[in-house]
A = this chain, B = another copy of it.
Amino acid sequence: MRELAVLGSIHLTLTWDQEVMMPPAAAGLRSEQAAILSTVLHERRTSAHVGELIAACEADAEVMADPDAAANLRTLRRDFDRAARLPMELVRETAAVSTLAMHRWRAAREADDFPAFAPWLERLVRLNRDTADARGVPEGGEAYDALLENLEPGMRAAELDRVFGELRTGLVPLIRELRENGTGPDTGWMRIPLATEAQVAFNRGVVERMGFDFDGGRLDASTHPFCVGAGPGDTRLTARYDGGLLLSALHGAMHETGHGLYEQGLPKAGRFGLPLAQAASRAIHESQARMWENFVGRGRPFWEWALPELQRQVSNPAVARLDVDTVFRGLNEVEPSLIRVSSDEATYNLHIMLRFDLERAMLRGDLPVAELPGAWNDRMRSDLGLEVPTDREGVLQDIHWSMGAIGSFPTYTLGNLYAAQLWDALGAELPDLDDQLRRGEFGGVLGWLRTNVHAHGRRYTAPELCERATGRPLGHEPLLRYLEGKLRPVYGL
């Protein structure tokens, strides 16, 4: 398992290099490197030898008497069987079709031509259905559950439907009320220019103060911010500096640092490659990122520390004139957007629910691909009050479906829901949380996350972890309450 993880870590390091360092002309070589590594990895991961080793451990009473070993083996068995159940031919066809589909999607988006992409999306929906059948639909579940099980073990489409539905019921009227009866914040200050070097220095200071260990990591610049936790001692973050505007990169950097702190907090020493050293799920990973980006980084207490700190570091008259209230309110503007990735903390979730409902309906066969744009546009109108002028700004905006990924969108809003519920529990145990943040002290937050989330690795599924850490199953209330509590005052309500 360690050998497999080390091979995987090579792949991750090369991915980082590709986005941050690689000379443009090396793209061809890099794709050959990635292809060979994938082949070597897949061959080893699904080899009969690995199956035999797992079975030998399971048959050994002494091994299984150790609760850590038993927990590792339970998950290894599940991963191995799930991988082994997929026919190689289906894996290959999905890889081949999605490579082509991504090219077609790019061209179709460019030309605003959904019909050109539709046949490819149809093929990918069919392949996802075949994959779900091969993996096996859980008792009493649906095809979507078999896909979800890969990213969010223990989560079910019906459960998502319930929690998302409750959140939406509260969120749509809240957003409408803010927009109709509230007073929007001033955001003009966000266009204050600030040299990239000054932003880099400030961001690095914040990231270090959050607890990121630079002895085992880096922070660089790239076109899209990301985090790569390659392995023990090697976690790399990037931020995107564009336009040279004040704070343009900070929240992206804090988001990736949330991912990075989770990677650095996983108990990898001595068990890198085993489930107990891996992240619980995609949504739990996302919850860590969203918590630091939004719950900390868009909160008033944080800015009571960060604004004077920024003013001290950069001698800029426009920055010197800013006050905490202006910054806090401006960072929490609610502005429905056609585009998911430009959306604010509240409306973002409506984008995700839309995608979840539509991809689930396509997978079920309830929504023909040809009718997808119409369904998309209706929902944008009813949920966000926006008319979609072109498919390019509508159904063609995201890369995910063209990559063959069905079941990944929900993990973003799940991340927000988990973050809110963890934040509540954390706040209950740290009564002076706001004072800590006002002093720029993040050790309390990080320590709680280390103990209640990071240390467990994949010992529990995400729903189990949530219940253990917060005392309650996942619900919509914490996120809705948090958004209400923050946004109403921002809008003077």
Q: Tell me the A residues contacting B by CB distance below 8 Å.
A: 2-3, 6-7, 9-10, 13-14, 17, 21-30, 32-33, 36-37, 40, 213-218, 230-236, 272
Contact = CB atoms under 8 A, between A and B. Distances in A.
Given A10-B14, A17-B13, A25 B216 contact: yes
B216 A6 contact: no
B215 A28 contact: no
Nearest to A24: B215
A216 B10 contact: no
A88 B17 CA distance: 34
A22 B235 CA distance: 10
Contacts of A14: 10, 13
Contacts of A216: 23-26
B21 A21 contact: yes
9 cross-chain pairs, A with B, having the tightest CB-CB distances, nearest first: A25-B233, A25-B216, A26-B234, A26-B233, A29-B231, A6-B32, A25-B215, A23-B216, A10-B33
Given A14-B13, A37-B10, A22 B215 contact: no
Contact of A234 (B22, B218, B232): B22
A77 to B, nearest CB: 24
Contacts of A232: 25-26, 28-29
Contacts of A33: 6, 9-10, 13
A10 B26 CA distance: 12
B6 A231 contact: no
Contacts of A36: 3, 6-7, 10
A214 B21 CA distance: 12
A57 B304 CA distance: 73
A187 B456 CA distance: 63
Contacts of A272: 29
Nearest to A36: B6
Given A10-B37, A26-B231, A26-B234, 14 more contacts: A6-B33, A6-B36, A10-B33, A10-B36, A13-B17, A23-B214, A23-B235, A23-B236, A24-B216, A25-B215, A26-B230, A29-B230, A29-B232, A29-B272
